[in-house]
């Protein structure tokens, strides 16, 4: 057993002593005791007021219940938090790190996993509230952009790409039903569509959506990108963008900074079609007064990207026990039901309704999804996220072709 532990620790770039020091969620009373008085520095995207408010609520609850304080370190790019951990490992800082928890998925998870920057495997599936997670019905909770999770991160929300339109300006019968039809729509309505500039996550997601629809062999996206094949396989994507970009808002000479910026442009009447990675976002924005109540959601019948987002604990986190307590609270039925409420956030749950008690399930059943939220059976198929290496390579090529100065 010791040799197996040593081999596993070595593969993660950790010493056996550091590995053995990790708190064990299987011994939850000890985790709770160790967590008291800790401050968890949660590095998480900070670009939306409703999400920030939800994180603040979660922080208040774990402080009140468990004596754990939460500090939300607001990020505009998760890679910045990953870079902190990389730098600390390079400097030999194997404990007392500055990052305790990261909101993460995709390329950033792949990077941290490959470099041995995460807490020992399996912890996520030992959390007390893991029993409620729908691992069978929602397979992306165990596979992150094709990368096996192996309990190195804990799921806390689902995502599905959806589009929005203002029916006061755009008729439902005129809406595009695919990326190809979106290009045709943009030709008829120049300047009325855009996407955030990559590497913004939402902007890159649009590129991946088009890539997934236009690539000849979709199976190629499930494996790491091969440089010798990239030009040929990505040619349909960049041919598409060569046609689309001049038709965008400000003729593609400028781009929205992020999704909130794109949402503001729709509210101001500058864009007619926008998109997000949350089926309930339009309803939440209407409730917050950020969008008019004539905005509605639509999707592509052939499918749009879908994935799960997670929280991960760096190998050298200073408040590992506190981070475990927070990760567990985030997958509690109470926290998940609040998060799915469109008036709070509207982020879909990772839980299995059949695993809940009658009272717990009632909290979900009682949610009013709102006037602009598509029902689950209206969302269409979920397209697989490409391997994270595709995201990195597409972003680099986009910047080379269309970035500042081009």
Q: What is the DSSP string of 11-75?
A: HTT--HHHHHTS--TTSHHHHHHHHTT-EEEEEEE---HHHHHHHHHHHHHHHHHH--EEEEEEE
Residue 217 gets the label, from left (phi > 0), alpha (psi -120 to 50) or beta, of beta
pLDDT tens string 131-146:
999 998 888 899 999 9
**What does the pLDDT read at residue 120?**
92
Q: Does 319 share its domain with 334? A: yes
Q: What is the spatial distance between Cα 192 and Cα 188, in angstroms, rounded to a whole number?
A: 10
Report phi then psi at 337, rounded to 5: -65, -40
> Smallest Cα–Cα separation from 254: which of 402, 79, 80?
402
**What does the pLDDT read at residue 384?**
86
Interior angle at CA 92, CA 87 and CA 94, nearest 5: 95
Q: What is the spatial distance between Cα 374 and Cα 56, in angstroms, rounded to a whole number?
A: 28
Q: Does 178 share its domain with 269? A: yes
Q: Does 321 share its domain with 370? A: yes
**Which residues have C-beta within 8 Å of that of residue 1, sequence separation ≥ 6?**
none
Give the mean model confidence (pLDDT) for residues 235-260: 97
Q: Is the pLDDT of residue 17 over 70?
A: no
Share of the chain above pLDDT 70, in %: 95
**Which residues have C-beta within 8 Å of that of residue 389, sequence separation ≥ 6?**
107, 110, 224, 225
**What does the pLDDT read at residue 405?**
60
> Smallest Cα–Cα separation from 163: which of 205, 212, 102?
205
Q: Is the pLDDT of residue 275 over 80?
A: yes
From residue 3, alpha-carbon distances to 6, 9, 19, 269 in Å are 5, 10, 13, 63
Give the residues across from 307 on adjacent strands. 159
> Smallest Cα–Cα separation from 124: which of 132, 116, 112?
132
Q: Does 172 share its domain with 302? A: yes
Q: Is the pLDDT of residue 9 over 80?
A: no
Share of the chain above pLDDT 90, in %: 84
Q: Is the pLDDT of residue 130 over 60?
A: yes
Q: Does 153 share its domain with 248? A: no
pLDDT tens string 83-99:
999 999 999 999 999 99
Q: What is the spatial distance between Cα 127 and Cα 104, in angstroms, rounded to a whole number?
A: 18
Q: How confident is the model at residue 346 (pLDDT cuts 50, 70, 90)?
A: confident
Q: What is the spatial distance between Cα 102 and Cα 79, in angstroms, rounded to a whole number?
A: 10
Q: Does 100 share its domain with 213? A: no
Give the residues across from 406 on adjacent strands. none
DSSP letter string over 202-219?
Answer: HHHHHHHHHHHHH-S-GG
Residue 145 gets the label, from left (phi > 0), alpha (psi -120 to 50) or beta, of left
Q: Is the pLDDT of residue 273 over 70?
A: yes
Q: Is the pLDDT of residue 270 over 90?
A: yes
Q: How confident is the model at residue 66 (pLDDT cuts 50, 70, 90)?
A: very high
Contact (Cβ atoms closer than 8 angstroms) between residue 327 and residue 101 = yes
**What does the pLDDT read at residue 299?**
96
Give the mean model confidence (pLDDT) for residues 68-84: 96
Return the CA Rg of the chain: 21
**Which residues have C-beta within 8 Å of that of residue 245, sequence separation ≥ 6?**
252, 402
Domain span including residue 198 = 162-306+381-402
Q: Does 140 share its domain with 176? A: no
Q: What is the spatial distance between Cα 221 and Cα 305, in angstroms, rounded to a whole number?
A: 13
Rounded (10°) CA dihedral 202, 203, 209, 215: -150
**What does the pLDDT read at residue 100?**
98
Q: Does 230 share its domain with 338? A: no
Q: Is the pLDDT of residue 6 over 70?
A: no
Q: Does 148 share its domain with 206? A: no
**What does the pLDDT read at residue 2?**
32
**What does the pLDDT read at residue 234?**
98
Q: How confident is the model at residue 342 (pLDDT cuts 50, 70, 90)?
A: confident
Q: Does 244 share its domain with 361? A: no
- CATH number of residue 232's parent domain: 3.40.190.10
Q: How confident is the model at residue 11 (pLDDT cuts 50, 70, 90)?
A: very low
Q: Does 193 share its domain with 331? A: no
pLDDT tens string 286-336:
988 999 999 999 999 999 999 999 999 999 999 999 999 999 999 999 999
Q: What is the spatial distance between Cα 84 and Cα 273, in angstroms, rounded to a whole number?
A: 37
Q: Is the pLDDT of residue 7 over 80?
A: no
Q: What is the spatial distance between Cα 276 and Cα 280, in angstroms, rounded to a whole number?
A: 9
How far from each other are the two terminal CA atoms of the chain, in whole angstroms? 57
Give the mean model confidence (pLDDT) for residues 176-187: 98
* Structural domain count of the chain: 2
Q: What is the spatial distance between Cα 333 and Cα 97, in angstroms, rounded to a whole number?
A: 30
**What does the pLDDT read at residue 215?**
97
Q: Does 150 share its domain with 251? A: no
Q: Is the pLDDT of residue 271 over 50?
A: yes
Q: Which two tokens stand for residue 134?
A: 């729908």
Q: Is the pLDDT of residue 19 over 60?
A: no
Q: Is the pLDDT of residue 3 over 70?
A: no
């Amino acid at each position: 057993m010791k040799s197996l532990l040593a081999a596993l620790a070595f593969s993660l770039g950790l010493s056996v002593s550091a590995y053995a020091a990790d708190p064990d969620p299987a011994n939850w009373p000890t985790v709770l005791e160790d967590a008291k008085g800790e401050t968890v520095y949660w590095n998480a995207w900070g670009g939306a007021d409703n999400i920030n408010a939800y994180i603040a609520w979660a922080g208040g609850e774990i402080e009140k219940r468990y004596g754990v304080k939460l500090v939300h370190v607001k990020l505009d790019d998760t890679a910045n938090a990953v870079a902190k951990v990389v730098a600390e490992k390079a400097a030999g800082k194997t404990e007392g790190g500055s990052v305790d928890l990261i909101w993460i998925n995709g390329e950033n998870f792949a990077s941290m996993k490959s470099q041995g920057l995460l807490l020992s495997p399996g912890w996520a599936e030992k959390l007390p509230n893991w029993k409620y997670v729908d691992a069978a019905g929602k397979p992306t909770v165990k596979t992150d952009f094709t990368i096996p999770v192996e309990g190195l991160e804990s799921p806390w929300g689902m995502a599905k790409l959806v589009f929005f339109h203002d029916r006061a300006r755009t008729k439902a019968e005129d809406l595009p039903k695919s990326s190809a039809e979106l290009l045709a729509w943009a030709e008829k309505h120049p300047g009325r569509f855009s996407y955030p500039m990559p590497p913004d996550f939402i902007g890159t997601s649009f590129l991946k959506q088009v890539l997934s629809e236009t690539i000849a062999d979709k199976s190629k996206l499930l494996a790491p990108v091969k440089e010798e094949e990239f030009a040929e396989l990505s040619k349909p994507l960049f041919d598409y963008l060569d046609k689309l970009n001049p038709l965008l808002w400000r003729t593609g000479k400028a781009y929205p900074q992020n999704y909130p910026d794109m949402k503001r442009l729709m509210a101001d009447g500058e864009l007619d079609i926008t998109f997000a990675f949350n089926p309930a976002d339009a309803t939440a924005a209407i409730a917050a007064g950020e969008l008019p109540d004539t905005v509605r959601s639509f999707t592509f019948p052939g499918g749009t990207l879908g994935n799960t987002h997670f929280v991960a604990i760096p190998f050298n986190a200073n408040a590992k026990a506190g981070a475990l307590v927070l990760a567990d609270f985030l997958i509690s039925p109470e926290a998940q039901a609040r998060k799915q409420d469109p008036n709070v956030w509207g982020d879909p749950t990772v839980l299995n309704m059949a695993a809940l008690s009658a009272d717990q399930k009632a909290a979900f059943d009682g949610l009013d999804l709102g006037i602009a939220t598509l029902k689950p059976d209206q969302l269409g198929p979920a397209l697989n996220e490409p391997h994270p290496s595709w995201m990195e390579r597409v972003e680099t090529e986009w910047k080379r072709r269309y970035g500042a100065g081009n």
